Structures are given as structure tokens and as C-alpha cells.
Structure 1
Amino acid sequence: MGAQLNGKIMNNSTQIQTNFFLKTKKYIREKIKILLFFLISVFVIFLSFQFFSYYKINQIEKNSIIYYEAIDSENQKRIYELLDELSNKNDFYSILANLELIKLNVINNDYNSALEIYYSILQNKKLDKTYIAAISSIASYNFIEIQYNNSKFNFLKDIEQFISFIDDSLNNYKGIKLELKYLLAIAEIDHNKLSYKDFNQASDLYKLIMETENISSTIKERVNKIHEFQLYN
């Protein structure tokens, strides 16, 4: 009788732990999707303003036709051909084409190709550090989500590398960079089946984010919710 009771308790404990990890992953994935959508939207708008400042109308028309033909096409091979053509150009649509190629590769679970394109963009020394920071942030959030959805993979080092591309001198990205480091710590805990309470890196980052004055309340609220969820569940 005692053995049966112990067995039930162990099964219940295992089930509770499993449900906790699933809820944690779901919550973080939802937040990352919202952040990705916001960052990509802001980045595209920012690029648009910059682009119209530096390029002539005829150049815009030519490459925009190719770009919109690509994203409107239903032929997968044709999409890749057009986007690949644009990705080799040195303008606004080159970056958009590369981001579209990354999206297609992720949809097709070709994560290595997506990584290669991200690194290719981020190692372009001609790009302004603000562009680099925006793309690095998108890449980091993107692969943190992929990591949560595919525990058999380990993209932790790649995510860490993406985060390192964000220049510390950019005050607007200070909060984003710290949040990404915190999410990376959570991903490491999840991947390596560690205890949140015993992982000092996560708690140290949490304290730093909460105590830093020029970090937005939105970021602090997101991080605090994850912290409380991890701590008390």
C-alpha cells in the first residue's frame, strides 16, 4: 500500500513538473512572438525612411518590383531565385530579401541556412551599428523561440553571438540586450534541465534589469513575470 502511494506521489510530482515546463515554454514563446513582430515592423519602417533618403526613385522601382514579385509568387523555386537575386544587391531590398530568405529557411526547418544568412548580414562592416543592433535583436529573439520549440537542438552559442553584435553604446538597445541575455539564461536552464533558483546568472541578470533606471517598464514587466513564474511554480 505504501509503495503504491509513493508511486502515485512520484507520478503526480513528475506530471506537475512536466506541466510547469510546458506552461513556461508557452508563455515565453508567446512573448517572443510579440517582440519579434514589433521589432521587425519597427526595423522595416526605419529602413524605409533611411532608404528614401539615399536612393533614387528609379532604383526603388526596379528592386521593389522584384521584391514584391518574389513575396507574391506561389512558386517556391521562383521565390528563392528572386530573393537570392535581390540578396546580392547593396541596398534596402537586399536586407529585406535576406530576411525573407531567413523566414523561408526557418519555415522549412533549415536552421543552418538561416544562421548563415544572419551571420552574413551581421558581419557586413558597411552596415550602420543601428541596423546591426536591430537585426541582431531579431535574430536573437528568433532563435530563442526556435530553441524553445526544438529542445533537441542547441543554438545557445549562436544566440549568445547574435547578442554580442548589439553595440553597448546604443542606449536604446541596452534594455533589449539585457532582456535577451536573461531569456538566453532561461533557455540554458531549460535546455540543460537546471534549477532556476540555483542558476545565479539568471538571478543576477534579473536584478540588473530591475535596478537599471533607463530600461523601459515594459521590459521590466516582461522579465519580472518570467522571473516570478520560474521562481514560484
Structure 2
Amino acid sequence: MGLKFYRPSSDVVYQHIDSLFHDNIVDWDLIQTHWQDLLRVAISIQEGKVLPSMLLRKLTTYSRKNRLYQAFHALGCVERTVFLLTVISDVKLREVIHRATNKVEQYNALEDWVRFAGGGTMYAHAFEEQEKLVKYTGLLTNCIILDNTLEISAALNALAREGYRPSIDELAALSPYQTRHIKRFGNYEIDFSAVPALIADDLTFQLELPAPPEVIEAVQEN
């Protein structure tokens, strides 16, 4: 299923991107008719009176006959079209989305690395067992991330004490999803009597913030 762009009206024609829209037109009349209903639903969700998951289940039931669902769909088409056009025209936004996507993929890869038993396949049929597997995997994954963060912070502080302060760009290249130093297979000895040390992940040195773009451009021109 491809991405669909919606025209604001049938009379609108675009010079360079008209082929993206085809015959899809926003149903403004439907949105206007149910606008108050849309607002009431949004306010109910915001105030916690209605769970989004419950609302979706109700709206998707007989969706072709549910006018409120159709109104939400029409409004969503507008929002999606505006967002897609913004992504196409904004390079920096695409970079932000790309970085965020990479972070999510790295986290998912770490979860897959943690859930190595059974090839990562969930064989349990009971919902409770499936829920345990998901939660325990997330717990172990976050434990690894926390430990990596503490180790990285300690290493950076040690470098700072030796006189080297990493830059913002160098810090941005670091990742808490490292696994090369972890022995995944083997025996694990857990000492419940041991008292863990206090968590101290704060950096003990000041970071030099990058210069604004206009300053960099002025320096390059000179």
C-alpha cells in the first residue's frame, strides 16, 4: 500500500508534484459535520476518560458505516498529507527522522540479541507467558543500556581528568547499545547480599556547545 496524498479540492493542480495526488480529495464536508464530535473525543482522551485503544476498537468496528471513524480518517488524511509534504521539503526534518529511526532499530536489535533463546521466536501460547517474555526482555535490555551508560560516563570522566574533553560530535557517536563486552553464554553468578554502588552517570566536565550556524558561516567566509 503506497502513501496517498490528498488534494484540498479537485480544482487544485500542482506544477511539479501533481502526480503524487492522483484523484484523492479531502472530504472537508465530512470533517466539518463531525468536527464537534472529533473535539469531544480528543478532549476525552486528553483527560483520560477514554483509552485510545478502546476508542480504536470501537471505531474500527463496522468502520465503513461508522461516520465518526470516516471523519477521523478524513482528518488523518489531511494531517498525513501535510506531514509528508513537510518531510519532502525539509532536509533537517528528514535527518531527525532518520536518526530517530536508527535509534529505534538499534534498540530492537539489542532486544533481539538479548532474546536469543529459541531463535527469538515466542512459542508460548498463553498470553500471560507472552507478556512475561516481552517484559523480561525489556527489563534485561534496559539493564544493559543502564550499565553501558554508567561505563561510558566513567570512561569519559576519566578522560577529562587526564586533560581530554570530548566534543559534542564525539559524544553523539557513542551508543549505549554495545554488546561486545558482554558474555551472553555461560554461567551467571548473582550475589543478592551485595549492595550496588550509587548510580553516578553525570559528566564531571563542561561540554563546549557547538557554534551557531551563522557564526560558522562567518568564520568560513573570513
User: After TM superposition, is the score higher than 0.5?
Assistant: no
- Which protein, 1 or 2, shows the higher relative CO under an 8 Å CA cutoff with sep ≥ 6? 1
- TM-score of the superposed pair, with normalisation by structure 1: 0.24
**Structure with higher helix content:** 1
